[in-house]
Chain A
Amino acid sequence: MTTNASENTFRVLDPTAPQSIATDGMAERPKSLQGLRVGLLRNDKLNSEPLLDAIYDVLAERFDVATAYKINKGDASRPAEPDLLGDFSNEVDVALLANGD
């Protein structure tokens, strides 16, 4: 809003709070999928599994990717447990996530 600073005498407070979780953005893209282990993390919804499987099939057709490593976070309404994600990250090089409503 453009105003003359000298006229701005009415003070109000910012209602927002800084979000405590940093958004790291997307991981760096791999230069190639050749030989990489592909992780499929589904969110427990019915269509998340066939959706991820279909995407993996496309990748497998086009690239020489390793066998898919699949896990289900078990509850669509809550984040995956840290231990689950930790194990997952050790087993895969790239990961696909899906919300299959």
Chain B
Amino acid sequence: MTDQPSKKPTPSEKVRVAPPRLTSDSLELPGPLEAIEAFFENGWSDGLPVVPPTPEAVTVMLSAANLAPDAILGVEPVKGAVVTAEKAAINAVMAGCKPEYMPVVAAAVDAITQPEFNLHGITVSTMGAAIMLIVNGPITEELGINGGVSAFGPGYRANATIGRAIRLIVMNVLGTRSNDGLDKATLGHPGKYTWCVAENEQVLPDNWSPLHVTRGIDESESAVTVVSGLSATQFGEHEANTPEGILDAFAQRLYPMGPGVKQVILVICPEHATHFTTAGWKKEQVGQYLYENATKLTSEWIAMGLPSGAQKDSNAELSIENGDPPISVLDSPESAIPIVVGGDGGAWSAVIPPWSLGSRSKIVTRPIITNK
């Protein structure tokens, strides 16, 4: 069934020759409450109530990002599943997004469908990764994406709904769902409901670039970075007041992953970040220090009982046939990807372990294109 939007055109729609035509099938129900229940019954929800996606709401969502309904935002490489702007917008409405969030959702779809992200692998795997979105640039302030107090917690509509939109797209458009489908996570974690955060660029150490600039985007632009993340390991380090001491504490949380980690997100809280400013450390020194100092002897790694298969793509060789050399927990200095996130009080940082130790899913950054 084809739906014809009936709402009064917004200014951006007036330039079109004809209103965009939505082509999704539709359901006709008595009202919003019945629609919410119908979406539960059809398995189209993540387990929470959704905002019913009316044609009017979806049209406004598309207009906010200047997207035609049939625009292709991404194609999942393994299954060839196409994510059109219309389907993404429907799921964004369901998630509770404001229309102005749609450019972030669109950029995130572009990012997660890049082959190196290995979306199919991370979403069907028993390892149970979630998709973490890290947003940088002016749009974080414009949309109110939280990167401060309780950054990973509830209470901010942009964080909650943008991350949820991506999960609903994975479930509904790509067909990867745990309630009846391909998602075979043994445990999963709460980030699979929603996981979107801003980097707290206001409190970066002096002379540190924000994440999107480090990854090649101009500082004046906004961008989203996608990460296949396992549940975060938070730790307190309230005594160390040097970068070395803080990074030594990070190292203790990296060791359980085993040697040769290819990519890992280091969430540095603002209080810890101040010590990098005091010491005059550059951002690149973080990875260099950990690569050189977060090491264990080969025999120690073996004694930890870590499966060597997990490191098969790394440079780490878990053999003591020719001696017992130290091996770094990181595959290279660039394997460490620091971000600064969180509220001012408290010395609580975290490690986000990557799916497959970062070897088979790569972090991807894409610019956010707005109407401005």
| Chain A residues in the interface with B (C-beta under 8 A) | 1, 3-5, 7-17, 19-21, 45-46, 75, 77-79, 101
Contact = CB atoms under 8 A, between A and B. Distances in A.
Given A15-B53, A15-B90, A16-B87, 17 more contacts: A1-B38, A5-B28, A8-B28, A10-B32, A11-B3, A11-B27, A13-B26, A13-B90, A15-B24, A15-B39, A15-B91, A16-B44, A17-B84, A20-B81, A21-B79, A75-B360, A77-B120
Nearest to A19: B175
B29 interface: yes
Nearest to A8: B28
Contacts of A16: 44, 87, 172-173, 175
Contacts of A20: 79-82
A72 to B, nearest CB: 12
A10 B52 contact: yes
B309 A11 contact: no
Nearest to B41: A1
A46 B25 CA distance: 45
A62 B329 CA distance: 48
Contacts of B103: none
Contacts of A7: 30
B307 A77 contact: no
A13 B172 contact: no
B31 A10 contact: yes
A15 B87 CA distance: 6
20 contacts: A8-B28, A9-B28, A9-B30, A10-B31, A11-B27, A12-B26, A12-B29, A13-B3, A13-B22, A13-B27, A13-B90, A15-B53, A15-B94, A17-B82, A19-B81, A20-B81, A77-B356, A78-B78, A78-B120, A101-B126
A100 to B, nearest CB: 11
Contacts of A3: 29-30, 34
B221 to A, nearest CB: 30
B274 interface: no
A10 B30 contact: yes
